[in-house]
Structure 1
Amino acid sequence: MMKLNRRHFLKTASLAAASFATSSFSATENSVPRPPSLGSSVMGLVVPKMETVRVGFIGVGQRGSGHVQHFCRLEGVEIVAICDTNPLVLDKSIEFVKQQGFKAPARHTGSERAYLELLSRKDIDMVIISTPWEWHAPMAIDTMESGKHAFVEVPLALTVEECWQIVNTAEKTQKNCMMMENVNYGRDELMVLNMVRQGVFGELLHGEAAYIHELRWQMKEINQKTGSWRTYWHTKRNGNLYPTHGLGPVSQYMNINRGDRFDYLTSMSSPALGRALYAQREFPEDHERNQLNYINGDINTSLIKTAKGRTIMVQHDTTTPRPYSRHNLIQGTNGVFAGFPNRIAIEKNGNGNFHQWDRDMAPWYDKYDHPLWQRMGQEAEKNGGHGGMDFLMLWRMVYCLRNGEALDQDVYDGAAWSMVNVLSEASVNNRSNSVNFPDFTRGGWKTGKPLGIIGA
């Protein structure tokens, strides 16, 4: 159990602040030595079964408050405590829990280190962290050091050094640290994973992943909500700021860290024009939003090469006026699936014409719906959260803890997927030259078991 003292808080705050200032280009696999392990691998980690999972929440703003609501609908959980620096959103979540007929959770607030008080409690098993990005790594590390399992919103970390610290802490404490990539629990993504495992696409060759989501409107969130802090990242980095929503599913299709791994990346960005133009149009000339220097390219495109020679294109665009897309494309020797809109073309055992897209997905759902979605899909859609994927992710996390099963995503996944943020900036800043991915598994990927298709 960690000590709640001023020295510890200053160390934690320094780590959070450093995530803004650390130069990503200097922190590549070639320049940062692989640190020695402080424990043993947590790949496939199974912890003792918990009859009741006792939960604490750090951050209950726009994202975290939704998690609180979902947990109120899960069996076998107890919401013990909630922490937030904003007393208004904190009290709103506490009141929601009470309205559902549960005991009021303990309330922790008052300063940025109030979360340490929550972590000092002995009646919490897992902690849900839904805070601004720069706090994810220090809070995850503190959570594991306090003897609790950490579940962190995306991205897991913002520098190579932070990722190694998180991995080492997980291995030392033998605690779970899962980055909560909810898109892995979408119906389409689960179905495609099932199809890949059954060999429908043949040997995999190439994937495409994206986060294309126009979010300029968040710039109008000045003093609170996501835009109040996320806007500034467009003035601090030029790369892919948010890679994991599209990349997580493609990584699972390709068994990244479980038989293959990311080897190196090259990246380039378009001009950064859209946010400055939006600020000129939507804000007074002397407004703070018009004084910022937006450097993040409106569109970033990165290419990843895996150890097995496969390729993955990853794109980021939260600025241009265009429809939402995650691409979600997987190409194999026997055919291809692509999302937004869903379509498929298969050479053998398909519709007989791979020169045209098959857009009728009903027969494919009937045949290949993932057993997890067959079991819980109706409940997930009923409870909502991005079409049900949020609820299903949280349900699955609790299910694994209660039944002594390994989680579907581990600390190595979160670290590898998050590194596209860091390495894309490094490549962009060096004329798109390639940069190497750290191997956070320390070679464990060679023998790691692919994520299986769980039974219904």
Structure 2
Amino acid sequence: MSQLPAVSRRLLLGGALATTGVLATGVGAAPDAAAAVTAASAPRRKPGQKSMIDVPYDVHRTVRVGVIGLGNRGSGMTTGWSVVPGCTVTAVCDVRADRVKRVADGLVAAGRPRPAEYGGSADSYAQMLRRDDVDLVYIATPWEFHHPQGKAALLAGKHVVVELPIATELDELWDLVDTSERTRRHLMLSENCSYGRNELAMLKMAHEGLFGDVTNGHGGYLHDLRELLFSDTYYTDAWRRLWHTRSTASFYAMHGLAPIAAAMDINRGDRMTTLRATATEPKGLADYRARFVPRDHPSWKETYVNGDLVTCLIETAKGRVIRAEHDVSSPRPYSRINSLAGSRGIFEDYAGVLSAGGGRVYVEPDHSGHSWRDFGSYRKEFDHWLWKKIGDDAENNGGHGGMDYVLQWRTVQ
């Protein structure tokens, strides 16, 4: 693919790593003011410091993983790491010691080696990072801990995979970029949806030119989480609900945004340059609380400020437009939208089409008459090599339809 000229770190902020943090900042400022702040916040590289793009990983006979955070996501992914060929979990950590023992016991029961156990205090992870038998650290803690724990892992000489968002402030994101470049260790977003079967088929179709010149994409995270947000057990200490009391932000649009960015070759031929955002009024959580939550519940002391639907409009250097949405507080079926369009056609996922492949497609010259066609045959034709190779293993071993396993397998590879 053609490459754009080298860009300054001021423009790099529009790239795939930083996007998560950009979407987690406030959207109340006027677009021009927000853009100016973004540009001014990008620090300059220190002399001799270079990008980590295309820097290869060291070769390991076995990749040894340490896990920080053993809640719903972390415990499930720990099992996933343990079954990937060429990978072993050597250490697990959580501030709650009972979770550490439960996960370690589960690995032993499944016939895996017992990992070293760290837990019971806020700095247990720092003790784990001193181990010399951990090559890769996977972080699945609440969002506010991602930056300090990710940075500590890099400084300890480990590569890092972090659940989204990687950080919640722009200065934290730049600090992680700088730390990665200084330590020469990679820090990667754990974006499982980039490895979904439909998403990878869409990527292959885009790269093979089926959509012509790609002009726009639409992705997001639209998931009715109201019941879970008010659960007293699902999100420990209500950490996720409390974010809705702190800022107006698009917390989590990457599930839909990342596959679109990949299909547009962001940071591999194009780059994001401008982001504008809008938010609706915050109505959903308060309405749900009024109808279903007892008056003595601690949530009644909270005021929700984040809009139900936050929409980000992102422009790229090549003139493309991406619409990224986040909504977890409205009644609706689940959707990541996952739509890509160009001069010769369009693909729309989550469109209510019941078929083997899901989604619908319309591409010239195959189609005419302004009528959508089923995506199933196209997914079969453009099935990505990852799913052809390990699809059965993914469906048997991985969560979220197998995409978790594909992410972990590809990372270890």
TM-score range, shorter chain: 0.7 to 0.9
Q: 1:33 to 1:182 in 2, by over 3 A?
A: closer
Give the match for residue 133 of structure 1.
143
The answer to whether the Cα contact below 8 Å between 2:165 and 2:251 also exists between their aligned partners in 1 is no
Q: 1:383 to 1:44 in 2, by over 3 A?
A: same
Give the counterpart of 1:28 among 37, 50, 65: 37
Give the counterpart of 2:384 among 353, 370, 386: 370
CA distance in 2, matches of 1:47, 1:268: 39
Equivalent residue runs for 1:400-439 within 5 Å: none
Equivalent residue runs for 1:307-456 within 5 Å: 307-341=317-351, 342-348=359-365, 350=366, 352-353=367-368, 355-359=370-374, 361-399=375-413
Equivalent residue runs for 1:196-345 within 5 Å: 196-222=206-232, 225=235, 228-341=238-351, 342-345=359-362
The answer to whether the Cα contact below 8 Å between 1:211 and 1:326 also exists between their aligned partners in 2 is yes
Residue identity in the other structure for 1:345 = Y
The TM-score, its normalising length taken from structure 1, stands at 0.79
Aligned length: 377
Equivalent residue runs for 1:93-104 within 5 Å: 93-104=103-114
Residue identity in the other structure for 1:263 = T
SS at match of 1:28: helix
- Identify unmatched segments of 5+ residues in structure 1: 1-20, 400-456
The TM-score, its normalising length taken from structure 2, stands at 0.87
Q: 1:33 to 1:69 in 2, by over 3 A?
A: closer
The answer to whether the Cα contact below 8 Å between 1:219 and 1:227 also exists between their aligned partners in 2 is no
CA distance in 2, matches of 1:227, 1:368: 44
Give deviations 1:178-221, integer Å, cap 9, x for gaps. 11000000000000000011000000101001110000012333
Greater RCO, CA 8 A, separation 6+: 1
Q: 1:23 to 1:321 in 2, by over 3 A?
A: closer
1:137: how far off?
Answer: 1.1
The answer to whether the Cα contact below 8 Å between 1:266 and 1:304 also exists between their aligned partners in 2 is yes
1:56: how far off?
Answer: 0.7
- Identify unmatched segments of 5+ residues in structure 2: 1-23, 352-358
The answer to whether the Cα contact below 8 Å between 1:62 and 1:226 also exists between their aligned partners in 2 is no
CA distance in 2, matches of 1:84, 1:238: 29
Q: 1:33 to 1:246 in 2, by over 3 A?
A: closer
Equivalent residue runs for 1:153-192 within 5 Å: 153-192=163-202
CA distance in 1, matches of 2:298, 2:82: 40
1:254: how far off?
Answer: 0.6
Residue identity in the other structure for 2:400 = H
1:107: how far off?
Answer: 0.8
Q: 1:356 to 1:224 in 2, by over 3 A?
A: closer
Give deviations 1:263-317, integer Å, cap 9, x for gaps. 1111111111111111112223343212211011111112111111110111111
CA distance in 2, matches of 1:339, 1:227: 35
Q: Percent identity?
A: 38
SS at match of 2:259: helix
More divergent stretch after superposition (94-103 vs 197-206): 94-103
Give the match for residue 14 of structure 2.
none
CA distance in 2, matches of 1:97, 1:33: 43
1:108: how far off?
Answer: 0.6
1:327: how far off?
Answer: 0.8
Q: 1:37 to 1:258 in 2, by over 3 A?
A: farther
The answer to whether the Cα contact below 8 Å between 2:26 and 2:248 also exists between their aligned partners in 1 is no
Q: 1:204 to 1:119 in 2, by over 3 A?
A: same
The answer to whether the Cα contact below 8 Å between 1:218 and 1:231 also exists between their aligned partners in 2 is no
Give deviations 1:222-262, integer Å, cap 9, x for gaps. 36635710001111111211111000000001111111111
The answer to whether the Cα contact below 8 Å between 1:272 and 1:296 also exists between their aligned partners in 2 is yes
SS at match of 2:269: coil
